Amino acid sequence: MLGREEIEKIIPHRAPMLLVDRITELTEEGAVGELDVREDAMFVQGHFPGNPVMPAVFELEAIAQVGAVAILSRPEFAGKTAYYASIDKAKFRQMVRPGDTLRMEVKLEKLRGSFAVASGVAYVGDKLAAQAEIKCAIGE
């Protein structure tokens, strides 16, 4: 298991934009990570007063960060950054609220040179919250 300190050694994100608390599984095929959604998280402040919900775009970012850990943990990509190239087939099925643990599962579908395609899903408990196909370019 990787904690935030180890994750910060792999991807360049930092608080408040680091959206992965721990990586529970890391393989050549992908990674699984978790985010404990806190009430004081910057992305739920004002979204929405009295009815806090994690914005869908942050769910996608959390999925992408887990994918970035999977890619950038490879020796040939150490010290690099993964940049969005596209997000396709994004769907949102379940609201994510403070107190929830969002579990992101990312599978690397293609990795050619400095370009990657991954499929990602996010769950709250056993309920599917979000899913998407994410393409990224790996650069300096």
Going residue by residue through the chain (140 aa), what tens digit of pLDDT does each one get?
999 999 999 999 999 999 999 999 999 999 999 999 999 999 998 999 999 999 999 999 999 999 999 999 999 999 999 999 999 999 999 999 999 999 999 999 999 999 999 999 999 999 999 999 999 999 98
Q: What is the pLDDT of residue 54?
A: 98
Q: What is the pLDDT of residue 92?
A: 98
Q: What is the pLDDT of residue 79?
A: 96
Give CA torsion, residues 1, 140, 78, 23, to 10 deg: 10
Q: What is the pLDDT of residue 109?
A: 98
CA 116 to CA 64: how far, in whole Å? 11
Show the domain range for 58: 4-139
Q: What is the pLDDT of residue 91?
A: 98
Residue 35's domain is classified under what CATH number? 3.10.129.10
Cis amide leading into 12 (omega within 30): no
DSSP code per residue over 68-126 = HHHHHTSGGGTT-EEEEEEEEEEEE-S---TT-EEEEEEEEEEEETTEEEEEEEEEETT
Name the domain count of the chain. Answer: 1
Distances (CA, A) of 129 to 40, 74, 92, 97, 137: 21, 28, 6, 11, 26
Of the candidates 85, 82, 87, 91, the residue with the CA atom closest to the CA atom of residue 121: 91
Q: Does pTM top 0.75 for this prediction?
A: yes
Q: What is the pLDDT of residue 89?
A: 98
Q: Is-contact 122 59, C-beta < 8 A?
A: yes
Query: How many CB atoms within 10 Å of residue 111?
Result: 17
Residues assigned a catalytic role: 47
